[in-house]
Amino acid sequence: MSANIAASRIKREFKEVIRSEEVAKCAIRVELVNDNFTELRGEISGPPDTPYEGGTFKLEIKIPETYPFNPPKVRFITKIWHPNISSVTGAICLDILKDQWAAAMTLRTVLLSLQALMSAAEPDDPQDAVVAKQYKENPEIFRSTASHWTNVYAGGPRVNEEFNNKIHRLKDMGVESDQARVALSSYNWDLERATEVLFSCD
């Protein structure tokens, strides 16, 4: 019975998103992965005036049978450098996806809330402690790093030659590019420090 409630509710919300003005402006999108409305693929555009601007971020959205009384399970498929989103798993720390969920909320609310989170991070309630520390202590480096990740993983427009060169130096030493990017990002693009960590014999 409950699965039917979830499915009919999601069908309605799916239509709401498709007809919304945000979709018309290409800010959010949602599509079905399977026919029974339990799995969807979301997409949000990086908000203007943020390091994510110009990028397109894909989301995995799983709808529990107990929906709308429990929140959907959402994670970023596109890699992103953000204090409230794991740079490794894409897990999201957002109150409405946990204890602040209300049955009146919808898919559209979720997508717009995630877009808002991209504009205004909550570094004191982080999902990724390394990113949160950088966000607070080195805001300039944080912005450059987030913008670089947006360029590489989300099709963003801003290329950072300096960062790319450092990644190439590590690739020449046999490090895979994603691994090199994570190490450099985590150590504020200090090539020596990142190299040390990658090649330490622990």
Q: What is the structure's pLDDT at 186? A: 97
Instruction: Give per-residue pLDDT as tens, 139-189.
Output: 999 999 999 999 999 999 999 999 999 999 999 999 999 999 999 999 999
Nearest-CA neighbor of 27 among 43, 10, 49?
43
Average pLDDT over residues 82-88: 97
Mean per-residue pLDDT of the chain: 94
| Strand runs labelled E in the chain | 28-32, 39-45, 56-62, 73-76
C-alpha 191/C-alpha 20 separation (Å) is: 46
Residue 1 banded pLDDT, cuts 50, 70, 90? very low
Statement: residue 97 has pLDDT above 70: yes
Catalytic option among 74, 93, 97, 146: 93
Cα dihedral across residues 182, 90, 57, 121: positive or negative: negative
Task: List the beta strands (DSSP E) in 46-166.
Answer: 56-62, 73-76
**pLDDT score for 18:** 86
This prediction's pTM = 0.94
Sign, Cα dihedral of 62, 121, 56, 115: positive
> Mean of the pLDDT values across residues 39-56?
96
CB-based contact 84:93 (threshold 8 Å)? yes
pLDDT of residue 202: 58
pLDDT band at 55 (very low <50, low <70, confident <90, very high): very high
Q: Residue 34: pLDDT band by 50, 70, 90 thresholds?
A: confident
Q: Say whether 93 is catalytic.
A: yes
Average pLDDT score over residue span 113-122:
96
Res. 2 pLDDT band, cuts 50 70 90: low
